[in-house]
A and B are shown apart, each in its own frame.
Chain A
Amino acid sequence: MKTSRIKIVENILNANDQIAEENSRMLKKHHIYSINFMAAPGAGKTSLILKTIQALSNDLRIAVIEGDTAPVTIDADKVQAQGIPAIQINTGGGCHLDAPMIRSGLAQLSLKELDLVIIENVGNLICPASFKLGTNINVVIASVPEGDDKPYKYPNIYRGIDALILNKIDLKPYIEFNESYFIKGIEILNPGVRFFEVSCKTGEGLNAWTDWLKEKIIHFKNE
Chain B
Amino acid sequence: MHELSITESILNTAIKYAQKEKAQKVTDINLVIGDLSSIVDDSVQFYWELISKGTICENSCLHFQRIPAIVLCQDCGNRYALEHDLIPCPQCSGMNIKILSGDDFKMDSIEIQ
Chain A residues in contact with chain B, CB under 8 A?
1-16, 91, 93-96, 98, 126-127, 129-130, 151-153, 155-156, 159, 184-185, 187-189
Contact = CB atoms under 8 A, between A and B. Distances in A.
Given A3-B27, A94-B1, A130-B38, A10 B107 contact: yes
B107 A9 contact: yes
B47 interface: no
B65 to A, nearest CB: 12
Contacts of B1: 91, 93-96, 127
A188 B109 contact: no
B97 A13 contact: no
Contact of A152 (B37, B86, B96): B86
A95 B4 CA distance: 10
B108 to A, nearest CB: 6
Contact of B110 (A5, A96, A126, A155): A5
Nearest to B2: A127
Interface of B: 1-2, 5-6, 9-10, 12-13, 17-18, 21, 24-25, 27, 31, 36-38, 85-86, 95-97, 99, 105-113
Nearest to A98: B5
A15 B2 contact: no
A10 B86 contact: no
A4 B13 contact: no
Nearest to B32: A9
B109 A6 contact: yes
Contact of A9 (B18, B85, B108): B108
27 contacts: A3-B113, A4-B113, A6-B17, A6-B109, A6-B112, A8-B17, A8-B106, A8-B108, A8-B110, A9-B107, A9-B108, A9-B109, A10-B13, A12-B31, A12-B106, A13-B105, A14-B9, A94-B1, A127-B1, A127-B2, A130-B6, A153-B85, A155-B36, A155-B86, A159-B99, A188-B95, A188-B97
B106 A10 contact: yes
Determine chain B's interface SS by DSSP, over half rule: mixed
Contacts of A7: 108-109
Contacts of A11: 105-106
Contacts of A98: 5
A104 to B, nearest CB: 15
B31 A2 contact: no
A77 to B, nearest CB: 25
A99 to B, nearest CB: 11
A6 B110 contact: yes
A168 to B, nearest CB: 24
A11 to B, nearest CB: 6
Contacts of B109: 5-9
Contacts of B31: 12
Contacts of A14: 9, 13
A8 B13 CA distance: 9
A35 B8 CA distance: 27
Given A3-B111, A96-B2, A188-B95, A12 B36 contact: no
A187 B112 contact: no
Nearest to B24: A1
